[in-house]
């Protein structure tokens, strides 16, 4: 499987979720974009793991994003990915913009966040962020 980067686009009506060691987080209603890396051995197959988790909802969360995927208030709306062997996850997160949820999904880097809030569907800005990083966005599945 190809290696690369991805964004998960989630929609929610507004809720509070306990996210592991981060504790209780109040999420505004709207859209959230999570930036993830798939440079490990499984590569972009990680996207399918996220999709399965979002539909099963009875799994035990491991990573920050898992807590949102198993929460019934969050709907996994789409994903955008790009193949690359470069570590561009932090650059992509910076290019996404939006209001970051402090310390979410970035425990292994110095970024302030890898999860961003948008009041409207962020599909266009997400694709533009990929292009700004020199990546060709793909949509393996969506709405």
Residues 57-77 pLDDT 10s: 678 888 899 999 999 999 999
- Quickly tell me which residue has 């999860």 as its tokens: 115
CA distance 14 to 65: 16
Residue 24 has pLDDT above 90, yes or no: yes
Q: What is the pLDDT of residue 134?
A: 97
* E strands in 13-90: 15-19, 23-27, 30-38, 75-83
Q: 76 vs 32, 62, 106, 108, 132, CA distance in Å?
A: 10, 17, 20, 24, 24
CB 85 within 8 A of CB 39: yes
Q: What is the pLDDT of residue 43?
A: 87
Provide the domain count of the chain: 1
Residue 21 has pLDDT above 80, yes or no: yes
| Paired strand residues for 81 | 6, 138
Say what percent of the chain tops pLDDT 70: 96
Q: What is the pLDDT of residue 95?
A: 96
Range of the domain at 113: 4-141
Among candidates 109, 102, 98, which has minimal Cα distance to 36? Answer: 109
Q: What is the mean pLDDT of the chain?
A: 92
Residue 140 has pLDDT above 90, yes or no: no
Residues 74-120 pLDDT 10s: 999 999 999 999 999 999 999 998 899 999 998 888 899 999 999 99
Q: What is the pLDDT of residue 79?
A: 95
């Amino acid at each position: 499987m190809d290696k690369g980067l991805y964004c998960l686009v989630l929609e929610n009506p507004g809720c509070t979720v306990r996210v592991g060691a981060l504790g209780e987080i109040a999420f505004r209603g709207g859209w959230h974009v999570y930036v993830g890396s798939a440079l490990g051995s499984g590569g972009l197959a990680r996207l399918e793991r996220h999709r399965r988790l979002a539909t099963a909802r009875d799994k035990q969360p491991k990573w920050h994003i898992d807590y949102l995927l198993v929460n019934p208030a969050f709907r996994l709306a789409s994903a955008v990915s790009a193949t690359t062997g470069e570590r561009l996850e932090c650059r992509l997160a910076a290019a996404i913009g939006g209001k970051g949820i402090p310390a979410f999904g970035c425990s292994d880097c110095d970024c302030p966040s890898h999860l961003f809030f948008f009041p409207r569907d962020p599909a266009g800005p997400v694709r533009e962020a990929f292009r700004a990083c020199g990546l060709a966005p793909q949509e393996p599945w969506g709405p």
